[in-house]
Amino acid sequence: MNQAKWIAIVVCVLLTIGAYIGSTGLFYAEFRPIRNYDLVAFATSWAGLIYYLVRDRKARH
């Protein structure tokens, strides 16, 4: 994997962490369970990143 892909993975991880903290109130408010639409958003964004990585890998081979 090249540097651009690693940057995309790191950014996706950081955004996931930030969204999780914002959704649950972790560290700054009373903890609340994560909502279903947040889980769908997390799954969709990660599925999109995985699709991008697999598609690019197949295109190179």
| pLDDT per residue of the chain (61 residues) written in tens, 0 to 9 | 788 889 889 998 998 999 899 889 988 999 899 889 889 988 998 998 899 889 888 887 7
pLDDT at position 53: 87
For residue 60, what pLDDT is reported? 78
**Dihedral angle computed from the Cα positions of residues 21, 24, 25 and 29, in that order, rounded to the nearest 10 degrees:** -150
Euclidean distance between CA atoms 18 and 52, whole angstroms: 22
pLDDT at 61: 72
Q: Which amino acid is at 56?
A: D
